[in-house]
Structure formats: structure tokens, C-alpha cells
């Protein structure tokens, strides 16, 4: 039997030994990078959704304040005995648009509550001279199955003679 003489293989230098990665190392690093990118994308998407909802809520608050401040300018007769204040209204997210632009979200609103609630403290002996007015807004963001209906409301009181006459009596007999 003859022995086969095999030539020794060339040895790698230490630099060549570290020049490549194993498949397992590559897979682990790709998985970690994928997790990082998915997390980053989810965080950015969530931030944009929160910002959009905050803008919608802010616009709803602006619309309600605009309506309530307008109602506060009415005198008692206009407030109680006329039809100058509409019970429903509609406005858009972008009220001053130009041709070809989208008006954005449409806000539907109602104005209700023309009498003081019975639960008002102190007791409502002056209920015939005071009104509680509530403005409620409804809007939908999105379309289709993912749409959500939002609602916000704000209430104010309006008095026939103004608030000062209820705080300070105008009766000279009761004045100091």
C-alpha cells in the first residue's frame, strides 16, 4: 500500500481569517436592522397621526369659540326672540380655499340649549333672565371602514342684564 502524499494547504494570514462573516452573523444583523426600521416607521407614523388629530381638535375648538363669541354679541331680544342664530351649521377645515384646492375636513355643528339647566347652582331663580348655550361639533376623519366620528362641545351662559348685575345688586336699598 502506497501512502498518498498530500501537499499542505496554504495557511491564511490573520487578516484573511477575519475578512468574511458567517451566515449566522449576517442574518442576525439584518434582523436587528429590520426591527429598528420597522420601529422607526411605526414611531413616525404614530407621530403624524397624533399631530393630525391635534390639529383637528384645535380647529374644532376655534370653530366653537368663534360661534360662542358671535352669540355673546347678540342682545337679549336677538338671542331669545329671533331666528338669527342657526340651530345647525357646517364649516370646513380650510375655510378660505382657492379654486382647485380641497376644503379639508367638514365640521357639522349644532347650537342648542336655550334655557338654564335645572341643576344650576345657585338655584335658578333668575332662569328666565339667563340662557345656557351649547355648541357641538361632529366630524369624521378618514374614509371607509377606518373612519372615526369625533365630537366636541362647549357651553357658555348669557344673561339678560349681564353678569355684573347678578354679582353686584343695582337696587339702591341694598347698596353699601
**Residue in 140, 136, 120 with CA at minimum distance from that of residue 128:** 120
Mean pLDDT (the chain) is 78
Distance in angstroms between the alpha carbons of the first and the last residue of the chain: 134
pLDDT digit string (tens) for 1-49? 566 666 666 666 665 555 667 888 889 999 999 999 999 999 999 999 8
Which tens digit of pLDDT belongs to each residue from 93-123? 776 666 766 777 889 999 987 776 666 665 5
User: In this structure, what C-alpha cell is assigned to residue 90?
Assistant: 357646517
Q: Give mean pLDDT, residues 123-147.
A: 78
pLDDT at 132: 83
* Gap between the Cα atoms of 92 and 105, Å rounded: 6
Quick one: pLDDT at residue 3? 65
User: What pLDDT, on the 0 to 100 scale, is given for residue 39?
Assistant: 96
How sure is the predictor about 137, in pLDDT bands with cuts at 50, 70 and 90? very high
Assess whether pLDDT exceeds 80 at residue 170.
no
pTM of the prediction? Answer: 0.67
Amino acid at each position: 500500500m502506497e501512502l498518498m502524499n498530500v501537499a499542505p494547504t496554504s495557511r491564511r494570514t490573520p487578516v484573511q481569517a477575519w475578512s468574511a462573516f458567517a451566515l449566522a452573523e449576517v442574518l442576525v444583523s439584518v434582523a436587528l436592522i429590520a426591527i429598528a426600521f420597522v420601529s422607526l416607521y411605526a414611531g413616525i407614523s404614530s407621530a403624524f397621526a397624533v399631530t393630525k388629530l391635534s390639529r383637528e381638535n384645535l380647529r374644532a375648538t376655534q370653530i366653537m369659540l368663534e360661534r360662542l363669541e358671535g352669540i355673546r354679541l347678540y342682545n337679549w331680544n336677538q338671542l331669545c326672540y329671533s331666528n338669527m342664530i342657526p340651530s345647525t351649521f357646517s364649516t370646513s377645515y380650510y375655510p378660505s380655499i382657492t379654486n382647485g384646492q380641497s376644503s379639508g375636513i367638514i365640521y357639522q355643528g349644532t347650537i342648542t340649549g336655550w334655557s338654564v339647566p335645572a341643576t344650576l347652582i345657585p338655584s335658578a331663580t333668575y332662569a328666565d333672565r339667563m340662557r345656557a348655550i351649547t355648541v357641538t361639533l361632529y366630524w369624521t376623519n378618514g374614509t371607509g371602514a377606518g373612519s372615526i366620528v369625533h365630537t366636541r362641545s362647549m357651553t357658555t351662559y348669557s344673561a339678560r342684564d349681564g353678569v355684573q348685575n347678578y354679582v353686584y345688586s343695582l337696587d339702591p336699598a341694598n347698596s353699601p
